[in-house]
Amino acid sequence: MPIDIGQGAQLWAANAPSAQASQKYQMKTAGKGNYQKSQSLAAEPTYQQAMNRVISSGSRAAGVQRQDPGKYERNIAAKGVQNRIQGIQAAGPGAWQAGFSPFAGIIDSTVAGYGPKSADAAENVTRRVLPLAVALQNAKRGGAGAGITTPTGVGAYVAGRGY
C-alpha cells in the first residue's frame, strides 16, 4: 500500500506539539550532549568525503538552483520571526554574554592598537579592519583564544583582490 503523505502530515501536525510528545523528546535528549558531540566528531571524515563529492559533482549548486526563494520568505514571515523572539527570550542575556565574551578581549586588544583614522579608505581597511579580521580568524583557527567558533574566516580580506 502506498504511503499517504497527507495523512502522515496531519498525524505529525496533531501529535508533535502535544505535551506527551514534548515530554518524550525531553526524556530522550536529556544528558545526550557529550554523545552527540562524540558522534559528530567521529563522523567528520565521512562528512568531508560527502561534501567534497557533492561540491565536485555540482549537485549542491543544482539543488540550490531548484529552491523556491518564496518558500524561504514565507517561512521567515510566518514562523521565523516568532521563533527568533521566543528563542532570544528563553536564552536571556546570559546566553549572549557567554557567547560573545571570548571575542570581547580579542576585539578590545586589537582596537587598542589602532592608530588614527586616515582619509584613505583602503588604508583604513588595511590598518584597522584587516588586523581585527585576522585576529578573530586566528582565534577561530586555534591561535590566540583557541576554541572560539565564529564565521569571521569567511570573506577575509586578501590584498590585491580589488575590493
Domain boundaries, position 146: 94-163
User: What is residue 99's predicted lDDT score, i.e. its pLDDT?
Assistant: 82
Determine the Cα angle at 33 with ends 80 and 154, to 5°. 55
C-alpha cell at 29: 535528549
Higher pLDDT, 16 or 161: 16
Residue 153 forms part of a structural domain = yes
For the chain, the domain total comes to 1
**Is residue 87 a part of any domain in this protein?**
no
Q: Is 35 a domain residue?
A: no
Helix intervals (H) in 16-125: 19-29, 33-42, 44-57, 59-66, 69-75, 81-112, 121-124
Tell me whether residue 29 is in a domain. Answer: no
Confidence of residue 159 (pLDDT cuts 50, 70, 90): very low
Task: Encode burial over 84-94: b for 16+ CB neighbours within 10 A, e otherwise.
Answer: eeeeeeeeeee
149 within some domain:
yes
148: phi > 0 → left, psi -120 to 50 → alpha, else beta; which?
Answer: beta
In this predicted model, what pLDDT tens digit does every residue of 111-138 receive, in sequence order? 998 888 989 999 999 999 999 999 999 8
Residue of 127, 96, 100 lying closest to 111 (CA atoms): 127
pLDDT digits (tens, 9 = 90+) for 17-72: 788 888 888 888 889 999 999 999 999 999 999 999 999 999 989 999 999 999 98
Classify residue 151: in a domain, yes or no: yes
* Verdict on whether the full-model pTM lies above 0.85: no
The pLDDT confidence band at residue 148, using thresholds 50, 70 and 90, is: very low
For residue 128, give the nearest of 143, 111, 142, 144 by alpha carbon.
Answer: 111
| Residue in 64, 67, 44 with CA at minimum distance from that of residue 54 | 64
Residue 24 resides in a domain: no
Residue 12: per-residue pLDDT: 76
Query: Is position 38 within any domain?
Result: no
